[in-house]
Copies of this chain bind each other. A is one copy, B any other.
Amino acid sequence: MTKIDALPSWNDGAAKAAIVAFVQATTDPASPQFVPEKHRIATFDQDGTLWVEHPMFTQLAFALDRLLQLAPQHPEWKSTEPFKSALTADMGTIAKLTMNDLLTVVAATHAGMTTDDFEHTVGTWMAQARHSRWNRPYTDLIYQPMLEVMRYLEANGFKNYLVTGGGQAFVRAYAEAVYGTPPEQVIGSSLESQFDYDTDGAAILMRSPKVLLFNDNAGKPQDIYLFLGRQPLAAFGNSTGDKEMLEYAQSGGGARLMTLVLHDDEEREYAYGPGSAHADTKFGAFTQALADTAKAKGWVVVSMKSDWNRLFPFETP
């Protein structure tokens, strides 16, 4: 037990107490629930758990910008769905796109280049794009309390993995600078890549438009197993897409920490949990059923409004 508060952006309460109790139970050698360091694994969803996901996923904003950029080379998009709808830049129209439509847009904007070129493209976009509400880079809009949890876990021998429904290569392009998470600790939805040679005969990987991993819902535990071969001890999410990941963490026995971030702060961010005005939002849904599951299984629900005294790193503590 340390005297320094590792979680200063967290108000005292059940959520903070549960996180601290979990870390002490798993890292104190005298604890019956002690876990050796190499088994201390924590997994974090990204959108809505580590950074703002409204009014749309950052990666969707990237895809729509790329679409506009590539449109002059694709005059056929003006009359072909889902491109026609996606190019309207109208949220009402875009919200009507199905998951298959979105995958078609992703395939058209995220493939057909080398893996290196894609990383560079994301980096360039991220440096100039701004969130409409805060007029700041998207990478500024990460949750300070969650960064503190990541640092706290690392200081206690945990290895943190991002486990995102978003594109693995997209997130890897900034994860180390933004979260301190190296590329090999980012698990996400993935396109296939194709080994090839450049004109000098050097090996390259081309991004193919074919989806290899869809890392949401059941895909999360399946991919965690694929990448790590074992369950996480702690899992953090915020939506129905994270339910199976939390169940997988919980199935391991011993001290486990399953946490859901509830967006209930319309003033400082957005409110789209059960009962709120935007409860029926298409993406990142914290449904009443999820709230019931969390209660039945003893998961920790974090109220952004009452558990967090500071939201973003750029805010003065």
Q: Which residues of A come within 8 Å of B, CB atoms? A: 38, 115, 168-169, 172, 182-184, 186, 190, 192-195, 197, 202-205, 212, 218, 221-222, 225-230, 244, 247-248, 250-251
Contacts and interface: CB of A to CB of B under 8 A. Distances in A.
B184 A205 contact: no
Contacts of A172: 229
A205 to B, nearest CB: 5
Given A195-B221, A205-B248, 4 more contacts: A184-B227, A186-B229, A190-B226, A203-B248
A195 B244 contact: yes
B222 A195 contact: yes
Contacts of A251: 202-204
Contacts of A225: 115, 193, 205
Nearest to A197: B247
B195 A228 contact: no
A222 B203 CA distance: 11
A222 B205 contact: yes
Contacts of A228: 183-184
A194 to B, nearest CB: 7
A312 to B, nearest CB: 27
12 contacts: A168-B226, A168-B229, A184-B227, A184-B230, A186-B229, A192-B222, A194-B218, A194-B222, A195-B218, A197-B247, A202-B251, A203-B248
A212 B225 CA distance: 13
Contacts of A203: 221, 244, 247-248, 250-251
Nearest to A173: B229
Given A38-B182, A248-B203, A251-B204, A193 B229 contact: no
